[in-house]
Structure formats: structure tokens, C-alpha cells
Amino acid sequence: MTKEICKTCNQEFEIRDADMIFYEQMKTAPPLYCSDCRMARRLVFRNERTLYKRQCDLCRKDIITVYSPESDFQVYCHDCWWSDGWDPKSFGVDYDRTKTFFEQYKELQKKVPRQSMAAVNNVRSDYTNGSAENKDCYMIFAADYNEDCMYSRLLQRDKFCVDCAFLHESELCYECLDSRKCFKCMFCEQCQSSSDLLFCYNMRDSSNCIFCTNGRHLTNAIFNVKYEKEEYEKKKAEILKNYESIEKAKKEFERLKEKTIRKFASQNKCNNVTGDYLYNCHQGVLLYDTYDAKNCSYMTDTESPIDSWDCNNYYYKSQFGYNIMGALEGSQLKNSAFVFYCSGVEYCENCHHLVNGLGCNAIRKGECMILNKTYSKEEYFKLKEKIEVELKQNSVFGQYFPANLAPFCYNETLAHDYFPLTKEESLKRGFRWQEKTTGTYGLETLKEIPSSIFDISEDILKEIFVCEECKKNFRITQAELSFYKRMNLPLPHKDFECRHKEREWQNEILVSSGTENA
Ligand SMILES: [Zn+2]
Ligand SMILES: [Zn+2]
Ligand SMILES: [Zn+2]
């Protein structure tokens, strides 16, 4: 093990022997940055929720996109980007020895059209990003195979869920966190295979419980004590009466969680790993929100990764990946963002089915390509070697894309969610900063949001609300209103972003209190 000083934050960090073995195996250099700074650099490639309206640069249609109208990229709508109306390979250039590789990549990056959002095979779900195979969803992010879900992130195979995060295979849930196979649960955390839970924590195979924790096969219980069905229903109605009664219950739940015995970390079927929110993980350090991992370290939001280090949003049995932001089914991937079904790629962005690629952007199918130009196998490896010499000379070999190649401003991305920085600090680190905020202020038509859902008519859909936290305007959609009515829930008094922050903050607290106990 060696100790190094991070070139970004000047904090000391460790490079373990297991890390060194991995870097050697991957034929790459040890990192110059600590694991947090490595992750931040990857995350500035991921603008998940800052959406803008602008025009498609090909068909001129109005689109929803993650690129602000001021950003100098070419942005195409989903259909145009995937059409044969343009050819990513036509942007191919020769490697020029008089400029650095990254300068040349930056020029390419500006010319090659970018996809308005990362959204694949969604139906009637325009406002979803980092998403695939969703139907009738709105404002859900990093979410796949969902139906009728809204205002959530990290959803997998859910139906009719609203304001949730890290939720799998659940239905009719509201404000649930880190839960699986739940039905009609609200305001719950870390629950599994349960139904009709309200303000519950870490329950399994339970139903009809309120304010219960760590329960197994528990039914009709309040504060883990059994009640008659009538008594239980009375309590439930009392809590769900209106906005104020729910807010009161939220505080009660916070107090309850503070008193509750919790595992030092949420790990199931894991061995020899450190991290939190893990399931079936074997061998590795600093894993978060990861399932079925084998020999992986420094990973967040990944599923079934094998022999990989430093990856985010990395799915479908990808293996031998290092420093990856977004991958599906890949192998031998290094320092890349959003590479799908690729192998042997480095410094590539938004590429699909690319085998052996260096500095490529938006390739949809290709082999042996450098800066979007195709070479013979022999030429490819020769030129790649030359470029690696240049990268080594400039002491950047093996490191992620430099900060100035990030396609987004720091505060538009998940980097700012996980590692918030001031404007000054992010500029100092080479990132850009977004000054303009989206949305409107002061246009509200309704100052007081009704506190109960009863007697609310469809007319409410015409009203413009104001968030009680940040004062931004927001509206209620038809689908949203139907959901609240169906679940007997009052309308929210905060906009999506403030609700999201509140939820993530809750999650943070859970993670940090877990560490303390360890
Ligand atoms: Zn650092
Ligand atoms: Zn278009
Ligand atoms: Zn707000």
C-alpha cells in the first residue's frame, strides 16, 4: 500500500496492493486523484435532472434536453441522432502531432452531434433521462422498465410510484427509499416484500404496519405492537388526513429512526466488501448501491459488474472497466462515458458497438477507430501506442478526461449532488458553472396549496403553485393528481427538486449514521 496526495483536493489517499494489481492488469497508470475526486470527474459527465428546452440542430423541432441552449454543442433529438441523416464517421480526423490528444478530442466533441438525452425505447415519457423502456413516465431519472412513475430516480421495474429513489419491482409506492418488492407502501425505507406500510424502516414480509422498524412477518402493527384492524385503519386515516398531519408523522418517523437499531451498513449476501446498500457483492472496497458484484472497488450504482474499478452506472455484466461513467455490457473499458456494448475502448463518449476505439464520439458501430477515423488493426495499435506516449509525456496517461472536457457545468450534474462545491472552487478545479436557473418565479396563481386532497377538482391542474422552500413555480399534472387521489395523499407543497433534495439528504444521514456505528 502507498499513500499519495490527490492533485485536486490535496487530501491524502491510499493506493492498495489490490489496486496496483488491477492497474497493471488493465495496463494503465495509478490514479493521481483520490476516489472522491475521481468520481466527481466522472459525474460531471452526467447531467441527470437539469433539463432545458431547445431546438434539435437537425430537424429544428423543439426538444427537451440536458444541454442548455447556450452550450456550444450540436444537439440532435432522439430520432435525428439515431437516423441515417448524418454519419458520425464523417467527422473523423487524423491525429495531429502538433496538438495534444485532448485538444483534438475537444474539437471533435464540439462538432459531433450529441443526443438530446440518454433515453432509449421510452413510450410517452419525454421528460425522462438516463432511462430505457419506460412507459407513461414523467420526470424519472436513471430508471428502466417502469410504467406510470413520476418524480423519482433509480427506479427499476416499478409501476405507479411517485417521489421514490432506489426502488425496485414495486407498485403504488410513494416517498419510498431503498426498497424492493413493495406494494402500496408510503414513506418507507429499506423495506422488502411488504405491502401497505406507512412510515416503516427495514421491514421484511410484513403488511399493514405504521411506524414499525426491523419487523419480520409483522401485520396490523403500530410501533411494532399488534392492533385490531379497526384501530389500525383509524390511525392510518389520521396520519393521511392532510399535509400537516403527514409532516407531523415525518418528524415522528425521524425520531423513531434515531432510536432504532440499525445494521452498520445495509449489506445482504455479501462477503469481504466495504460500502453500503449492497446485495450479493464479493470482494472489494467502497461499493455503494451495487448488486451482484465480483472483485470490484470504488463503484456506485452498478449491477453485476466483474473485475472493475471506479465505475458509475455500470450494468449488465460489464467487466474489466476502469473509470467509467455509464456502460452496458462492455469489457476492457477505460476512462470513458456512456459506452454501450463496447470493448477495448478508451476516452470514448456516447459510443455503441465499438470494438477498439480511442477518442471516439457517437460511433454507432465501428472497429479500430481513433478520433472517429477507422484504421486497419495494425495501424490502430501503432497509432494508439504513439498517442499513449504523448499522454505519458503530459502526465495524464491513465487518468479520466480532463475537467475542461466535461460536457456540462459542475452544478448541472450529479457531481454537485454528491460533492457540492462553490462556484469559485469548481472554476478553480477547471469545471464550468451554470449561472442561469431553469423555471420561473412569481407567476403563481395560487398562494395556498390545499392541505387535503378531498374536494380537489380538476381545476387545480390550471393553477401555478409556488414551492414553499425555494419559491420556484410548479404545476401538478393530470397523472399526478390521479395518483394522489387514488392514494388519498395531499398535494405536495414543494417542487420536484426540493423534494428530491430532501430525500437525498435523508439518504445521506442514513449512510453517515451507518458509518458511525461501524
Ligand atoms: Zn481528491
Ligand atoms: Zn431532430
Ligand atoms: Zn423548491
pLDDT tens track for 172-181: 999 999 999 9
Nearest bound ligand to the CA of residue 10:
1
Q: Which domain holds residue 310?
A: 267-403
Nearest bound ligand to the CA of residue 65:
2
Nearest bound ligand to the CA of residue 501:
3
Same-domain check for residues 253 and 358:
no
Q: How far is the CA of 33 from the centre of ligand 1 (A)?
A: 5
The Cβ of residue 441 has, within 10 Å, a number of other Cβ atoms equal to 12
Establish if 230 belongs to a structural domain.
yes
Q: How far is the CA of 287 from the centre of ligand 1 (A)?
A: 18
Establish if 76 belongs to a structural domain.
no
Q: Tens of pLDDT along 92-146?
A: 999 999 999 999 999 999 999 999 998 889 999 989 998 899 999 999 998 999 9
Q: Tens of pLDDT along 454-486?
A: 889 999 999 999 999 999 999 999 999 999 999
Nearest bound ligand to the CA of residue 497:
3
Same-domain check for residues 237 and 287:
no
Distance CA 365, CA 361 (A): 11
Same-domain check for residues 218 and 271:
no
Q: Tens of pLDDT along 323-336?
A: 999 999 999 999 99
Same-domain check for residues 224 and 340:
no
Establish if 271 belongs to a structural domain.
yes
Same-domain check for residues 281 and 368:
yes
Q: How far is the CA of 257 from the centre of ligand 1 (A)?
A: 32
Same-domain check for residues 254 and 361:
no
Establish if 240 belongs to a structural domain.
yes
pLDDT for 341 equals 97
509 pLDDT above the threshold of 50? no
Q: How far is the CA of 493 from the centre of ligand 1 (A)?
A: 38
Nearest bound ligand to the CA of residue 116:
2
Q: Average the pLDDT over 478-504 and give the result.
A: 93
Domain boundary among 238, 259, 280: 259
Nearest bound ligand to the CA of residue 63:
2
Establish if 71 belongs to a structural domain.
no
Same-domain check for residues 248 and 279:
no
Q: How far is the CA of 82 from the centre of ligand 2 (A)?
A: 10
Nearest bound ligand to the CA of residue 470:
3
Establish if 413 belongs to a structural domain.
no
Establish if 111 belongs to a structural domain.
no
**CA torsion 490→130→287→285, rounded to 10°?**
-160
Same-domain check for residues 241 and 301:
no
157 pLDDT above the threshold of 50? yes
Q: How far is the CA of 272 from the centre of ligand 2 (A)?
A: 49
Q: How far is the CA of 4 from the centre of ligand 1 (A)?
A: 10
Could you tell me what percentage of the chain is helix, strand and coil, using 3-state DSSP and rounding each to the nearest 5? 25, 30, 40
pLDDT for 508 equals 52
Distance CA 134, CA 120 (A): 9
pLDDT for 510 equals 39
Residue 508 or 200, more confident:
200
Q: Tens of pLDDT along 334-359?
A: 999 999 999 999 999 999 999 999 99
Q: How far is the CA of 80 from the centre of ligand 2 (A)?
A: 4
Q: How far is the CA of 56 from the centre of ligand 2 (A)?
A: 5
For residue 226, list its beta bridge partners.
Answer: 221
User: What stretches of 394-477 show up as alpha helix (H) in DSSP?
Assistant: 414-418, 423-428
- Phi–psi pair at 385, nearest 5 degrees: -60, -45
Q: How far is the CA of 32 from the centre of ligand 1 (A)?
A: 9
Q: Tens of pLDDT along 389-417?
A: 999 999 999 999 999 999 999 999 999 98
pLDDT band at 506 (very low <50, low <70, confident <90, very high): low
Q: What is the pTM of this model?
A: 0.86
Domain count of the fold of the chain: 4
Nearest bound ligand to the CA of residue 498:
3
pLDDT band at 507 (very low <50, low <70, confident <90, very high): low
The one-character DSSP state at 216 is B
Same-domain check for residues 322 and 209:
no
pLDDT for 72 equals 87
Residue type at position 312 = N
Same-domain check for residues 231 and 289:
no
Same-domain check for residues 300 and 397:
yes
Same-domain check for residues 207 and 330:
no
